[in-house]
């Protein structure tokens, strides 16, 4: 998926730049310099200006599940790589590998629905460490899609009972990631996420709209829940796949929202 994102960026770079500029600006306006920083979903560093962040923190840990990002991390970090910039190629949920091991057996035994309902989310490695600040880049909405793809690869078409069980497990992944962002950092956290997906056609006035987040997770994302919110409503549109570049019949736009929290203590 990481390589697919890079390929899409190469095709659509001018259309992505407003989104990337908004993301970088939000981060630069809400970080609190000092200490150890974790960047979750760092990818190919399109969303962040790593050289600008480097002088502000004693350590920066880059997390992503895609090992092909390593050359980019090394090149952009320069001499700071492995001295103050630490690569962390891992699943930030801490759960997907474990969850995946039982999928085939559960489907074979006709127990996939109950298996999906029984799954609980582990803490990710980043939650077990003492980071002063954490930035999550487009992960709250994306993490469940990785899991959905794994389930469909194993199970194929889902039954009427299995479909809601899958959606429930996806919502738990979203909720757990959001909880971790607001509870584990010592000082502050930033989350940037898709909240809605829009599909359009230039010859039609109505857009198709699909939620990117579970309803309860979206409400929770927009509330403080004991944390002091550094920013109010911050949102923008990301023209992800303009019509006629990837598809002659339709294009795709995402609504993106950003929040910054800090400890009330």
Q: Answer yes or no: is pLDDT of 5 > 80.
A: no
- The structure tokens listed for 152 are 């469909």
Q: Are 30 and 234 in contact (CB under 8 A)?
A: no
The answer to whether residue 248 sits within a structural domain is no
The answer to whether residue 220 sits within a structural domain is no
Tens of pLDDT, residue by residue over 87-97, are 999 999 999 99
Count of structural domains, the chain: 1
Q: Mean of the pLDDT values across residues 105-111? A: 94
Tens of pLDDT, residue by residue over 210-264, are 999 999 999 999 886 655 556 555 899 999 999 999 899 999 999 999 999 987 5
- pTM summary value: 0.92
Tens of pLDDT, residue by residue over 235-244, are 999 999 999 9
The answer to whether residue 64 sits within a structural domain is yes
The answer to whether residue 241 sits within a structural domain is no
* Backbone dihedral angles phi then psi of residue 260, each to the nearest 5 degrees: -130, 130
CATH of the domain at 15: 3.40.50
The answer to whether residue 53 sits within a structural domain is yes
The answer to whether residue 92 sits within a structural domain is yes
Identify the domain containing residue 79 by its residue range: 2-195
Q: What share of the chain is helix, strand, coil (3-state, %, to 5)?
A: 45, 25, 35
Residue whose entry in the numeric block shows the structure tokens 């809400």: 30
Tens of pLDDT, residue by residue over 139-152, are 999 999 999 999 99
The answer to whether residue 83 sits within a structural domain is yes
The answer to whether residue 100 sits within a structural domain is yes
Q: How far is Cα 114 from Cα 161, in angstroms, rounded to an integer? A: 9
């Amino acid at each position: 998926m990481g390589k697919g994102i890079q390929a899409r960026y190469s095709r659509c770079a001018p259309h992505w730049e407003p989104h990337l500029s908004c993301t970088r600006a939000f981060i630069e306006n809400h970080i609190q310099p000092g200490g150890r920083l974790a960047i979750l979903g760092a990818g190919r560093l399109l969303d962040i200006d790593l050289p600008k962040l480097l002088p502000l923190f004693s350590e920066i840990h880059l997390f992503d599940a895609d090992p092909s990002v390593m050359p980019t991390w090394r090149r952009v970090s320069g001499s700071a790589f492995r001295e103050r910039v630490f690569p962390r190629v891992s699943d930030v949920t801490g759960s997907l590998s474990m969850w995946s091991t039982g999928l085939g057996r559960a489907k074979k035994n006709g127990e996939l629905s109950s298996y999906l309902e029984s799954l609980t989310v582990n803490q990710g490695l980043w939650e077990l460490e003492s980071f002063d600040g954490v930035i999550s880049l487009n992960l709250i909405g994306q993490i469940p899609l990785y899991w959905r793809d794994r389930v469909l690869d194993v199970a194929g078409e889902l039954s009427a009972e299995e479909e809601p069980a899958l959606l429930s497990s996806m919502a738990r992944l979203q909720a757990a990631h959001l909880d971790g962002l607001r509870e584990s950092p010592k000082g502050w956290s930033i989350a940037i996420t898709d909240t809605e997906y829009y599909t359009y056609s230039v010859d039609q006035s109505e857009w198709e709209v699909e939620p990117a987040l579970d309803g309860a997770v979206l409400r929770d994302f927009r509330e403080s829940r004991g944390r002091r919110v550094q920013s109010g409503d911050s949102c923008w549109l990301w023209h992800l796949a303009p019509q006629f570049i990837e598809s002659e019949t339709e294009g795709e736009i995402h609504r993106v929202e950003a929040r910054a929290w800090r400890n009330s203590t």
